Amino acid sequence: DAGVTQSPTHLIKTRGQQVTLRCSPKSGHDTVSWYQQALGQGPQFIFQYYEEEERQRGNFPDRFSGHQFPNYSSELNVNALLLGDSALYLCASSLGIWGEYEQYFGPGTRLTVT
């Protein structure tokens, strides 16, 4: 079992550009959540996808959007990048959307906006 995988590992973008990050969940998991983790901070919840729909959303602007595919993999898209979007983006998968389920995290994508 490969666990949760994310690509790319690192990414450098220019302010104003758009970026797409990808996540493959752990085998058997149907729910994917995305988090933004600034340096030295805890993960901030962006949104959660289940059955190809956004189920929950944190306090992030519409520039952050996502998608879930029939195979449960997911993408995070960020438009009009700002310097403040520089962070580690974590993907986590679980079996179900309810709060009691353990999440398995990927290694993250380090996004740098210059």
Binding site for another protein (CB under 8 A): 33, 35, 40-45, 48, 56, 58, 88, 90, 92, 94, 97-108
State the nearest-atom distance from the C-beta of 23 to another protein, in Å: 13
CB nearer another protein, residue 16 or residue 61: 61
Q: Is 30 exposed, middle or buried (0-12, 13-18, 19+ CB in 10 A)?
A: middle
CB nearer another protein, residue 35 or residue 64: 35
CB nearer another protein, residue 35 or residue 85: 35
Contact 11, 112 (CB under 8 A): yes
Residue 84 DSSP one-character state: G
State the nearest-atom distance from the C-beta of 16 to another protein, in Å: 27
Phi, psi (rounded to 5 degrees) for 83:
-55, -35
80: left (phi over 0), alpha (psi -120 to 50) or beta: left
State the nearest-atom distance from the C-beta of 111 to another protein, in Å: 13
For residue 65, give every residue at least 6 positions away whose Cβ sits within 8 Å of its Cβ, in sequence order, or none.
76, 77, 78, 79
State the nearest-atom distance from the C-beta of 99 to another protein, in Å: 3
CB nearer another protein, residue 15 or residue 101: 101
